[in-house]
Structure 1
Amino acid sequence: MKISSNFDAGSIEVVSMNGFEDIQLRIPNDNASHFAQWFYFRLQGAAYQTCNLRFLNASECAYPEGWADYHAMASYDRINWFRVPTSYDGSVVTIEHVPLANSVYYAYFEPYSYDQHLNLIGQAQGSGLCQVSDLGSTLQGRDINLLTIGHEVESDLKIWITARQHPGETMAEWFVEGFLNRLLDPIDPTSRMLLDHATFYVVPNMNPDGSVLGNLRTNAAGANLNREWLNPSLEASPEVFVVRQKMLETGVDLFLDIHGDENIPFVFVAGTEGVPSYNDRIRALEEAFKHHLKLASPDFQDEHGYEKSAPGSADLSWATTWVGNQFQCLAYTLEMPFKDNANLPDDDYGWNGQRSQRLGEAMLTPIYAVINKLRA
């Protein structure tokens, strides 16, 4: 029996392996911070054995409430992922699974590798509708790429989408893949109409270093990028610095920042009601956008989510609040669950990459619904 994690996004610490039914593990912290929740590893040599994999430090992780009703993901080929029985006793998380092959992978959520990220960029460019540009480099020298889709004329609306500021939230890049698949479809009528009116700026992965390192929330320097938007620096958060700089150059009429939430088993959005520039026009746009997203995807709901900020109390270091306030535009953080969507549960797969893709495809509909109202 062997456990390994020396691969893209791999993360686990083996404490002991006293037998198939007593495999003791710890979830490591992000490379330069205290956040811990992401795991991804390979188990070999345990085919047809009842395996109990215990994460001893589950209660010390960043979001211990997130383990309640959570089920880990597993795969034999890293393409097809499914949920496996998982329990939490308030201290230890235990996966109980009988692998049907000698090599099996377990992960906190369906991974999205750096190779997949590069392939996504290549496929988008190959559509003939997308230009790829390099905004700069991460601290470890990886490219920070921007996909620009549209005519880039001055009269175009400017729609920005960023994903994976928190690298462990891989559902965000699955979402972007679905979004791009539809936006770059030359026979999709909604896409064609949108591209007649808007230019899209998409950053599929804001945190490639953290993604490869197997981090949950931070980049290689230990910075939580979604707390860096008020004063980013090239030393600590170059990813935010260069994207923010490009936004100031292009302007923003609509912004979506794509995330995943460890605790809340629903798809929801968080807006900008707490920023100084919030007004009735933005409120009306928010309501129209949510209405049409509900119609486009029954996975979305607006009853459960984060508590709304009081007027003037928003933290402007967050991407959505900084962008919404700076450009006085419609701006939303979209959250998807690590667990399952409690409104439409799926015992075999829970929330997964494919459902994230479908939500990305559906997102074109509410954007189209408000396209003519985005500018005052």
Structure 2
Amino acid sequence: MMISTEFDSGNIEVVSADAPDQIRLRIRKDNESEFFQWYHFKLFAQTDVKHTLIIENASESAYPKGWEHYYSFASYDREHWFRVPTSFDGKKLTITHTPEQETVFYAYFVPYSWERHLDLLQWAQQSAWVEQRCLGLTLDGREMNLLVVGEESPKKRKVWITARQHPGETMAEWFVEGLLEHLLNEDEPVSRQLLDQVVFYIVPNMNPDGSVRGHLRTNAAGVNLNREWAEPTLEKSPEVFHVLKAMDAIGVDMYLDIHGDENLPYNFVAGSEGIPSYDERHANLERLFKEAYLRATAEFQTKYGYDVDAPGQANLTVASNAVGERFKCLAFTVEMPFKDNDDLPEPYQQWSDIRSRLLGRDTLKAILDVANDLR
């Protein structure tokens, strides 16, 4: 047996791997940070033998409740991922699997590699509707990429979408991939209607360094980017600095920041109720979008989510709050589960890369329904 993490987003530490029924592991912390929960590793295994993989520090992770009713992902070909039996006893996470092939990959959620990210950018660029821009560089020297979709015009609404501020929340970039696939489909009537009214500004990966390093929540400097939107700096959070600078130059009429939630088994949004400028117009826009989202897909619900901030008490370091206040626009954090959507359970894959892509597609319908009301 051997375990490897020497690849994009690899993360695990081996305590011992002497016997298939007692493989002891620990998840490595984000660099310069106490956050950890993301894992991704390759096992060289004995086929048709039950393997027991024990993550010993699971209870010390960022979101220990996230392990309850959670099942790990596994894959033989890195394209098709499936869930495997997983249990949490309050201290250790135990993955039990009998490999059918000599090597198998395991991950907290379906990985979205840097190579696939680059492929997505170049694929999108082939559309006559798309311009790819580089906003600046990360601390590790990677590009901060922006896709501009649609013909820019002062009359059109400006919709910004950012994804994966927290790099371990890979469902966010799968969401963007699905959204782009349908937005750039010339035979899709929703897309044609949208691009007559809207220009999209899409950052598919807000945290390239953390993604490649195998982080859960932070960038190369150990900084949580979704707490940097009040005063981002080139020294700590150039990713946010560059995107916010572009927003200031272009303007924002609507903003969606795409995430994954470790604990809650639902799809939901978090609004800007607590920002200082929140008023009746803002409240009405939020209501219209939620109603449109409910019509667009059965995957969305409004019963479960985060507690609503009291008036004037929003954390303005958080992206959706900061952008909603700065531009007086409709702004939401969109959350997807790591587990399953308990409203529509699917026993084989639970919530997955495929369902994340479909939610991205269906979000376009909700945006179209509110586009005329954004100004």
TM-score normalised by the shorter chain: which range applies? over 0.9
Q: After superposition, where does 1:329-340 map in structure 2 within 5 Å? A: 329-340=329-340
1:295 aligns with 2:295: yes
State the match for 2:275 in structure 1: 275
Alpha-carbon distance between aligned partners in 1 of 2:112 and 2:335, rounded to the nearest angstrom: 17
Q: CA deviation at 1:155?
A: 1.4
Cross-structure match for 2:97: 97
Question: SS at 1:100's partner residue?
Answer: coil
TM-superposed deviation, 1:199: 0.8
For residues 315-349 of structure 1, the C-alpha deviation after alignment (integer angstroms, 9 at most, x for no partner) is 00000000000111100000000011111111110
User: Where do 1:225-264 residues align within 5 Å?
Assistant: 225-264=225-264
Partner of 1:133: 133
Q: TM-score, length-normalised on structure 2? A: 0.99
Please name the residue that 1:284 is paired with.
Answer: 284
Map 1:354-365; keep pairs closer than 5 Å: 354-365=354-365
> What does residue 37 of structure 2 align with?
37
> 2:154: which partner in 1?
154
- 1:32 Cα deviation after fit: 2.0
What SS is found at the alignment partner of 1:266? Answer: coil
CA deviation vs aligned residue, 1:203-223 (integer Å, no higher than 9, x gap)? 000000000000000000111
Which residue type is aligned with residue 232 of structure 2? P
Describe the SS at the equivalent of 2:69. coil
Give 2:270's aligned amino acid: A
Q: Between Structure 1 and Structure 2, how many residues are aligned? A: 375
- Secondary structure class of the residue paired with 1:339: coil
Q: Deviations over 1:280-337 (max 9, x none)?
A: 1111111111111111110110000100000000000000000000111100000000
SS at match of 1:162: strand
Distance between the aligned counterparts of 2:311 and 2:46, measured in 1?
Answer: 56
Matched with 2:320 is 320
CA distance in 2, matches of 1:180, 1:39: 27
Q: Distance in 2 between matches of 1:275 and 1:178?
A: 31
Structure 2: distance between partners of 1:296 and 1:371: 14
Question: What is residue 367 of structure 2 aligned with on the other side?
Answer: 367
TM alignment of 1:179-218, pairs within 5 A: 179-218=179-218
Runs of 4+ in 1 over 6 A off after TM superposition: none
Q: How much has 1:137 moved relative to structure 2?
A: 0.4
Letter in 2 for 1:153: S
Letter paired with 2:350: G
For 2:9 and 2:128, locate their aligned partners in 1 and report how far apart those are by CA, in whole Å. Answer: 31
* Partner SS state of residue 66, structure 2: helix
Worse-superposed segment, 210-219 or 182-191: 182-191
Paired residue secondary structure (1:283): helix
Name the structure 1 match of 2:221: 221
Q: Which residue does 1:75 correspond to in 2?
A: 75
Paired amino acid for 1:44: F
Task: Give deviations 1:232-263, integer Å, cap 9, x for gaps.
Answer: 00000000000000001111000000000000
Aligned-residue sequence identity (percent) comes to 55
Instruction: State the distance in 1 between where 2:297 and 2:153 align.
Output: 31
**Which one-letter code corresponds to 2:47 in the other structure?**
A
Aligned twin of 1:305 = 305
Residue of structure 2 equivalent to 1:26: 26
User: AA paired with 1:282?
Assistant: H
Paired residue secondary structure (1:8) = coil
CA deviation string 1:116-154 (max 9, x = no partner): 000000010012210001100000110001000111111
What value does the CA root-mean-square deviation take over the aligned residues? 0.6
Structure 2 unpaired stretches of 5+: none
Distance 1:45 1:172 in 2: 31
1:42-76 CA deviation, whole Å, 9 max, x = no partner? 00132111111000000000000100000000000
SS across alignment from 1:363: helix
Equivalent residues of 2:45, 2:104 under 8 A apart: no
Find the residue that maps to 1:223 and give its secondary structure. coil
Alpha-carbon distance in structure 2 between the residues aligned to 1:299 and 1:101: 34
Work out the CA distance in 1 between the residues paired with 2:40 and 2:192: 39
What amino acid is aligned across from residue 265 of structure 1 in structure 2? Answer: P
Give 1:182 deviation, angstroms.
0.8
- 1:256 and 1:272 map into 2 onto residues whose CA distance is 12
